[in-house]
Copies of this chain bind each other. A is one copy, B any other.
Amino acid sequence: MSASTREPWMVARSSVEFVEEGAFLAPRFDRDGLIPVVTTDALSGEVLMLGVMNAEALLRTIETREAHYWSRSRGALWRKGATSGLVQKIVEMRIDDDQDAIWLRVRVEGLGASCHVGYRSCFSRSVEMGLPIQAPVALTFVEREKVFDPREIYGDAPNPTKL
């Protein structure tokens, strides 16, 4: 679906007040037809990943209560956990004031991880802070051990990371 697609369930963004303080979902997709999605663990509050949805992924997530995203690396609808079993069950979905971002609070099935590298969270490294920057900035792993071995789960599937 393109950014201009407006399904019957998507109401018009008729005013700032309606969008910011109204009682109906009226999402704004970007020029690629996508909306960013922050996904957190409903129990720990940890940010697991930052993905995107197109209109179809949003629709399926609402209807099935399981997280669907748009995979930019594969150019396809992505039911999270379809390969790995790491399905994200939705505890709560929230929308932000101007309705151009989504927050999912989820419970992760299977091994409980959400990162293709094998960690629980994609945000497994912290950034060194507070120094005048004159050289490379150090990262430190907050998660010490992987939850799973990605080679066992994904086999020879191409790595989605772009350089």
Contact B126 A92 (CB under 8 A): yes
Copies in the complex: 2
Q: Contact string, A113-124, partner B, CB cutoff 8 A, digits 1/0?
A: 001110100111
The CA of A63 and the CA of B126, in the complex, are separated in Å by 15
B-chain residues with CB within 8 Å of residue A124 when the two chains form the complex = 94, 97
Interface size on A, residues (CB 8 A): 70
Q: Contact string, A50-65, partner B, CB cutoff 8 A, digits 1/0?
A: 1000000001001101
Majority DSSP secondary structure for residues of A touching B: loop
A25 (CB) vs chain B CBs: closest residue? B137
A155 interface contact, C-beta 8 A: no
A51 (CB) vs chain B CBs: closest residue? B101
5 contacts between A and B (CB under 8 A): A20-B161, A62-B128, A90-B129, A98-B162, A103-B123
**9 tightest CB-CB pairs across the interface, nearest first?**
A45-B45, A25-B137, A98-B161, A94-B123, A96-B122, A93-B127, A50-B101, A9-B133, A24-B136
